[in-house]
Structure 1
């Protein structure tokens, strides 16, 4: 965000006054516009949209001779063997394929750059001119990151639905429990899964925001966030750490598959959302404590 844009949002920046809800909305809107018009953000969304296309085309080519997707041995992301029977399963497969790395990486880039990127560009101190306030700015940055979480997840789901409808048949589908549900109900569950996946990223968003307050280098913040993400993913696969793994933010990410049970199995879903809330509270508080006491010189 340029200084001119900041002053446009803050026309009375030199006057002490209480922030109004309209001003807060203006700041949030400005952050959204600035974030989503960056080429980096557009490129991230483009990559996320391309993943379902690649999966769909690969499965179409693989099964063109009548063979089973995934070789019939259950290889690959969840639901992949059922895509040829119902294109809606491409939505579930694409989310399962992007959630372990692509989606969190994109969130890590946006969150890691939130504060550090402004400091590196020299615009952070202008954003803190009255009546902004550090707490309000931090909450606005986090709300913007969470909006990106939702948009990124919906981009994956929408792309997968379009490709699935184009390449494969649609109709009633069979749940994990073996029951049949209508296409409309399946579509509703797909939307619920997308919302759960977006909510599963609030912990990563808070972690990235906290790291962003520790440095004035946006690249360093993004790299550190993505590095921690990869490290946690690796640790979550080591059997000797089974006692710690339920506390890793990524441990219950794939529990969204339980939404495709009949009835829905909520236990791991609730654990996942509770764990994400805990990470958001801990690292959100740490980000606030750091940012409100930080000496801002840029």
Structure 2
């Protein structure tokens, strides 16, 4: 148990929950696994940027890539004209696989990892309480969603500005906006992407309460993620697609329209909230009734 957690156990002050959350987040971010995941996420925009730079160095063009797909990640063709589009291309490339898998690994290990290491019961010493501990862990996973998204965004922005020109942004609608407004929209895109991962976070936390093996929880979460994505890609199952958490992930592209179209983004937020509520409640029900022996 860390010093902050020990102090929190002895002193149930109003700031206890904040201290526990801070301790959970700090511990999570210091793990080598978390650092490695963030490192992999940071490499993706670098690889995309260098690949586009090499392909266009002789005056060639990149395969057409738009928000509707085709020829690679969305926005790929626009990177050579404006490095800011590397942010959107990198997020479009990492959101289907890399980002949710990273979240699944962290969320799956949240409770199961503590149980496997034999430290979970020490965290539950009164007045900690299971509900508060579970909330602190979920909030730390949500914070990681934001951190992971910002790592991709910041790296892509730096690489894009280094390798390509930056300036006014041409929206999907064909209008032009200032670079400053483009940065604001990039920040909003990053926020929408982070929110899109909250459903995966809740699912992973629930799976983590079902086992004492961190590896098993991580593998199960990633397996469920892959299964749901496969289901979302089968046209014959179109009736259930709107209820699958990845279905509206790429709706952030609508932030680059003029005016912005909010319909699918609102649906995305709604479905993520539904998954967070359902699997968060299931995680709470399981964790508060679980026999903790380790």
TM-score tier, shorter chain, comes to over 0.9
Which residue of the partner structure matches residue 81 of structure 1?
Answer: 77
Determine the C-alpha separation between the residues in 1 that align with 2:137 and 2:6.
16
Aligned partner of residue 186 in structure 2, secondary structure: helix
Kindly report which structure 2 residues correspond to 1:173-188, keeping only aligned pairs within 5 A, or say none.
173-188=169-184
Which of the residues 6, 31, 38 maps onto 2:24? 31
Match of 1:52 in 2: 45
Q: For this pair of structures, how many residues does the alignment match?
A: 291
**How big is each residue's C-alpha offset from its partner over 1:240-278, in whole Å with a ceiling of 9 and x where there is no partner?**
000011111000000000000000010000000000000
CA RMSD of aligned residues (A): 1.3
- TM-score (ref. length: structure 2): 0.96
Equivalent pair of 2:8/2:16 in contact (CA under 8 Å) = no
2:278 to 276, 279, 282: 282
List gaps (5 residues or longer) in structure 1: none
1:21 aligns with 2:14: yes
CA change 1:265–1:71 in 2 (3 A) is: closer
List structure 1 runs of 4+ shifted beyond 3 angstroms: 71-74
Per the alignment, in what secondary structure is the counterpart of residue 59 of structure 2? coil
> Post-superposition shift, 1:32?
1.1
Tell me the equivalent position of 1:225.
221
Compared CA separation, residues 177 and 137, structure 1 to 2 (3 A): same
Q: 1:119, 1:8 → 2: CA distance?
A: 20
Q: Look up the match of 2:104.
A: 108
Alignment partner, residue 212 of structure 2: 216
Counterpart among 121, 126, 129 of residue 117 in structure 2: 121
Deviates more, 1:64-73 or 1:215-224: 64-73
* Alignment partner, residue 269 of structure 2: 273
Partner Cα distance (2:261, 2:124) in 1: 46
Q: Taking structure 1 as reference, are residues 125 and 55 closer, same or farther at Cα in structure 2, changes over 3 Å only?
A: same
Instruction: Name structure 2 gaps, 5 residues minimum.
Output: none
* Separation of aligned partners in 2, 1:217 and 1:193: 35
Q: Separation in 2 of the partners of 1:47 and 1:12?
A: 34
CA distance in 1, matches of 2:8, 2:206: 30
